């Protein structure tokens, strides 16, 4: 067995859904975990207390002394978090960037962390975290990726190195997201339109005939739920996807439209169209039709300020 640097303490920057899942799994491995989130809600504080996580008041407090810093924030904050962490990061400490950002953003973040003496590693999460938790398929990238792979897997992750070149892992994730996040937006748009015209059953029957391996009722419900609950984060991610497409020299027509649809649903969720955020029933309907009806009611409202 090869020798590697053991990780004893971890800093989490971002204590949302992903951050809390990671915290639980890291604590189960016996690691000391400090966390910072700019919102620091009462629910986050309660979760941290329950699981023995030190929820602190600044990035500097979280990062100080940590052997591994994990950044799990909204995509637009990727570089800003790296800049905030850099002054406090220890020499040789790893900085694992989980954020769904473009290759260009990852490269800018890496320059900041490495200049401060840290070791930046890009991480591309290749599917939804909740079902897999810390075992979610994870691509690592950059010159320090191989050095982190084994110690990271030793604390419960399922990581493999995509490339020593920064940007390859994130480009893989971003290209996938053109499809996955786009499919979410298309299903919401297609199924809600079909619901308006009363042809949803015919639509689903046609889709089943063309794609018999997919349970479209179940898949639609899942897509509606995830976008209602996480549309803000998803829309920001898809804006980074669009930037990735631009960096490839293409116009991101599909990605740009996906970002707008996801953001529209997020705006409605923030406005309470789907119920009170955080309540037991929020984004938990067993039938996508209920959520589509709420979208249609909003779209047909005389108070709407813009085209839907």
Domain boundaries, the chain: 9-166, 170-299
pLDDT at 277 exceeding the cut of 80: no
Under CATH, what is the fold of the domain 9-166?
A: Rossmann fold (3.40.50)
- pTM (predicted TM-score): 0.84
Q: What phi, psi does 229 have (nearest 5°)? A: -80, -35
Count CB-CB contacts under 10 A for residue 11. Answer: 29
Provide mean pLDDT across the span 98-114. 95
Mean per-residue pLDDT for 90-114? 95
pLDDT digits (tens, 9 = 90+) for 193-238: 999 999 999 999 999 999 999 999 999 999 999 999 888 989 999 9
Rounded Cα distance, 240 and 76, in Å: 8
Tens-place pLDDT, residues 43-89: 999 999 999 999 999 999 999 999 999 999 988 999 999 999 999 99
How confident is the model over 127-181, as pLDDT tens digits? 989 899 999 999 999 999 999 999 999 999 999 999 999 999 999 999 999 999 9
Q: List, in sequence order, every beta strand (DSSP E) within 81-216.
A: 94-97, 119-125, 137-141, 158-163
Average pLDDT, the chain: 93
d(CA 280, CA 225): 13
d(CA 293, CA 176): 30
Quickly name the fold that domain 170-299 has: 1.10.1040
Q: Evaluate if residue 1 carries a pLDDT over 50.
A: no
């Amino acid at each position: 067995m090869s020798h590697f640097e053991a990780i004893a303490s971890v800093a989490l920057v971002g204590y949302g859904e992903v951050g809390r899942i990671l915290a639980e799994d890291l604590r189960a491995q016996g690691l000391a975990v400090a966390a910072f989130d700019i919102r620091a809600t009462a629910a986050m504080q309660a979760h941290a207390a329950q699981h023995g996580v030190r929820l602190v008041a600044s990035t500097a407090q979280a990062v100080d002394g940590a052997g591994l810093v994990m950044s799990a924030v909204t995509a637009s904050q990727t570089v800003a978090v790296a800049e905030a962490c850099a002054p406090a990061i220890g020499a040789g400490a790893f900085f694992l960037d989980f954020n769904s950002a473009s290759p260009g953003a990852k490269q800018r973040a890496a320059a900041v962390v490495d200049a401060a003496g840290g070791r930046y590693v890009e991480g591309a999460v290749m599917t939804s975290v909740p079902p897999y938790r810390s075992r979610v398929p994870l691509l690592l990238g950059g010159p320090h990726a191989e050095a982190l792979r084994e110690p990271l897997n030793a604390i419960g992750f399922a990581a493999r190195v995509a490339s020593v070149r920064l940007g390859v892992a994130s480009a893989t994730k971003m290209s996938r997201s053109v499809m996955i996040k786009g499919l979410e937006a298309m299903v919401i748009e297609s199924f809600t339109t079909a619901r308006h015209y009363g042809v949803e059953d015919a639509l689903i029957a046609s889709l089943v005939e063309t794609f018999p391996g997919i349970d479209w009722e179940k898949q639609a419900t899942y897509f509606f739920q995830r976008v209602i609950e996480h549309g803000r984060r998803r829309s920001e991610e898809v804006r980074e996807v669009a930037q990735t497409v631009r960096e490839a020299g293409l116009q991101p027509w599909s990605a740009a439209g996906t970002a707008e649809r996801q953001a529209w649903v997020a705006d409605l969720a923030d406005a309470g169209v789907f119920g009170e955020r955080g309540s037991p029933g929020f984004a938990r309907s067993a039938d996508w039709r209920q959520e589509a009806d709420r979208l249609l009611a909003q779209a047909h409202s005389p108070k709407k300020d813009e085209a839907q």
